[in-house]
Amino acid sequence: MDMSGETYLNNQFIIAMPALTDPIFFHTVTYLCQHNEEGALGIVINRLANMKLGEIFKQMNISATSEAAANMPVFTGGPVQQQRGFVLHTNGGSWDMTMAVSDSISLTTSRDVIEAIAVGEGPEQYLVALGYAGWSEGQLEKEMLNNTWLNTPFGKQVLFDTSINMRWTAAAGQIGIDINQLTAPAGHG
């Protein structure tokens, strides 16, 4: 099979199709940070963890002076490494462990970005998640072929400015799809 024409979905959203009933991914929007021949890594951007960022500061012994940051929600980024923090953010600043996803968004996993956010000196816009969603080699491609996911272009307003409970419909709406109108395909007989 010729893979030279392979298209990777870095810096795109994948939206759980209505038929995906797995409770971990039901009605989720995942921002793909890395997708290549080895697999994919994404952060779910519309599933809240039951905590605010202030609790993370306390767990990490970081003193916070930014009340706004302490009150930010924390997301469940996916089922893998849920004890580890991932910060999706607009570019700017220099952090120890950062991967540029696009010319405007990066993913940082180092403590320094959390320390900066705690004192109001972090990235302009950010989302903090615990854990990530991961796919092994060829797994996401297979799931895409099975109509498990709908991919749409990245939209900064969906990631940072859309209310959390509206992100699923907003991400699909970027390409003119009313995700609520999509149903599972009829039985394949």
Domain for residue 4, yes or no?
no
Task: Compute the distance between CA of residue 79 and CA of residue 77 in angstroms, rounded to an integer.
Answer: 7
Which residues, in sequence order, are bridge partners of residue 89? 106, 126
Into how many domains does the chain fold?
1
Domain for residue 142, yes or no?
yes
Domain for residue 3, yes or no?
no
Instruction: Name the residue with tokens 């699909």.
Output: 172
Residue stretches of the chain with pLDDT short of 70: 1-6, 183-189
Domain for residue 122, yes or no?
yes
Judge whether 31 and 171 are in contact, CB under 8 Å.
no
Residue 169: in which H helix or E strand, if any?
A: helix 167-173
Looking up residue 70, the CATH number of its domain turns out to be 3.40.1740.10
Helices assigned H by DSSP within 66-150:
67-70, 111-118, 139-145
Q: What is the pTM of this model?
A: 0.91
User: The tokens of 136 are what?
Assistant: 């092994």
pLDDT at 187: 45
- Burial environment of residue 37 by CB neighbours within 10 A (0 to 12, 13 to 18, 19 or more): exposed
User: Smallest Cα–Cα separation from 90: which of 73, 102, 81, 75?
Assistant: 102
Judge whether 151 and 173 are in contact, CB under 8 Å.
no
Q: Residue 83's domain spans which residues?
A: 12-179
Domain for residue 173, yes or no?
yes
